[in-house]
Amino acid sequence: METSRLPDTRNGSSSSWAKYVSSENETDRPRTRRVVRESSAPLESDDNSISRPLTPRKRKPAVKRFDSPSAASPPPYSFDYKAIPDYSPSTNTLPNNSRCLKTEWKGQAMDLSEDPLVGELHPAEVQLASTLRLPPNVYLDSKRRIFFEKVKRLRSGLPFRRTDAQKACKIDVNKASRLYAAFEKIGWLEDINFDGFLQE
């Protein structure tokens, strides 16, 4: 029978004895798997630590869909000029000159020769409406709206300005501005032309 050799402890070396006993015990014990904690595990929050609120995400604004029934465009304006009172100065006050209402506009002039309402316009008005690309019914509607607003403001003691004409019309503001300038040039916007309408 082979006996295990014990380390010599005569020198008072207890450390060598401890190593021996330890190595003997390790051979007798079953080995176990070491469980290593992941370093990414959250640490316990310190009471003294400052908690910061999370920054809220910005929401993108909702995009309106124009094809939905609620966002449907209003029906086009009919330009029923006969529904508006006619306070326009008489075309007899215009000179016998088709260019007295001349104005400038981008694009090619509109051909109004085949329009059934062209006969209701003075030749100078035909030239003006053609240049501004306004069909006769649209021109007559805008013309009546301008002078209706002129009389309305005169009755209230208010001035009539270019912006008032633009707001009164149902056309492009730049075209309304050209109409205002053309009517002002021939004196149609002078207050004396509307004395007969102020008593109504």
SS3 192: helix
Structural domain includes residue 26: no
Is 169 inside any structural domain? yes
CATH number, residue 192: 1.10.10
Residue with tokens 């300038």: 181
Domain encompassing residue 127: 96-197
DSSP H/E element including 148: helix 136-155
**159 falls within a domain:** yes
Give the CA distances from residue 149 to residues 91, 163, 199, in Å, rounded to whole numbers and listed in that order: 19, 11, 16
Specify if 126 maps to a domain. yes
Question: For residue 98, what pLDDT is reported?
Answer: 87
CA–CA dist 194, 44 (Å, integer): 88
On whether residue 147 sits in a domain, the answer given is yes
The share of the chain scoring above pLDDT 70, in percent, equals 64
Higher-pLDDT residue of 39, 172: 172
Asked if pLDDT for residue 49 goes beyond 60, the answer is no
In a domain, 193, yes or no: yes
Backbone angles phi, psi at 80, to 5 degrees: -85, 85
Give the per-residue pLDDT at 199.
Answer: 76
Q: Is residue 122 part of a domain?
A: yes
Residue 33 covered by a domain: no
Number of folded domains in the chain? 1
20 has pLDDT over 90: no
Report whether 136 contacts 118 (CB < 8 A).
yes
* DSSP category for residue 11: T
Measured CA to CA, the distance from residue 193 to residue 105 in angstroms comes to 28
pLDDT in tens, 65-101: 544 444 456 667 778 999 999 999 999 999 888 899 9
Contact present, 122 and 141 (Cβ < 8 Å)? no
pLDDT at 193 > cutoff 70: yes
